[in-house]
Amino acid sequence: MAVSNIITIKDPRSPVSEAYRTLRTNIQFSSFDNKIQTIVITSSGPSEGKSTTAANLAVTMAQAGYKTIIVDCDQRKPNLHKLFKISNQAGLSDFLIGEAGFEDVVQKTEVEDLYVLPAGTRPPNPAELLASVRMEKFIEYLKQQFDCIIFDTPPVIVVTDAQILSKYADGSLLVVSSGETERDAAARAKELLEKVNSRILGVVLNKLDTSRKGYYGNYYYYYYGSEGEKKGRRRRGVFKRFGKR
């Protein structure tokens, strides 16, 4: 099974992968009293990178030793099966209407401790399906089976699905696309989540231009860069910048 589209697998030592691990750490330390086990990931609008964020966060959680499942709750425009290169013939919707068992729809990835539940057959009423008693009971079942449950949901401004699932989750992440998301749209998305008393864990700034590395890029190259003269030249540059050499 190939999952080369996911950078935390394809290039685990890249600055972007490190950023996802930082996100994982921040979530873990966001609450000392209440365990963050179920997380809803959404955005204000389409194409902001919420599915990519959800997939990479799930990978880093599994890599840290947490038994993790990521559930594609975007029944209208599912994307996780494309990222993980798995079948979407049967999934969450098929399970919820009783057409398939859990073992028939959940798929294990090549990442140890990481499972994916694709969206499955597109239902005529996605919001009603996610708001059903069967979905609520299913979430309770997942809590008993997994350490971390991540729900990839549609944009919160477009449909109500993210709001519905947020009521059952320990927290939510709002993905914002750098240079693309309008300020009013991001504020509206935050407002909609707060209306259902969703605990917003934070905002993920996505699609940030990292071509100009600056101080952080130089430090990262020094710590993770390849061995040899090239690394030595860059390392000296860092030290010189702070007057060490």
Main-chain phi, psi angles of 35, to 5 degrees: -70, 135
Q: How far apart are CA 101 and CA 235, in angstroms?
A: 55
Sheet holding 171-177, edge to edge: 107-108, 114-117, 68-72, 148-152, 38-43, 171-177, 200-206
pLDDT in tens, the chain (245 residues): 554 579 999 999 998 899 999 999 999 887 767 789 999 999 998 888 899 999 999 999 999 999 999 999 999 999 999 999 999 999 999 999 999 999 999 999 999 999 999 999 999 999 999 999 999 999 999 999 999 999 999 999 999 999 999 999 999 999 988 776 788 888 999 999 999 999 999 998 886 665 555 544 444 443 444 444 333 333 333 333 333 33
Report yes or no: 82 and 72 within 8 Å, Cβ to Cβ.
Answer: no
Q: What share of the chain is helix, strand, coil (3-state, %, to 5)?
A: 45, 15, 40
- Domains of the chain and any CATH numbers: 7-206 (3.40.50.300), 212-245 (no CATH)
The answer to whether the beta carbons of residues 6 and 58 sit under 8 Å apart is: no
DSSP lists the bridge partners of residue 174 as 42, 203
d(CA 131, CA 133): 7
Question: If you ran DSSP here, which 8-state letter would residue 181 be given?
Answer: S
Q: How far apart are the first and last CA of the chain?
A: 48
Instruction: List the beta bridge partners of residue 41.
Output: 152, 173
- For residue 183, the tally of other CB atoms under 10 A from its CB is 8
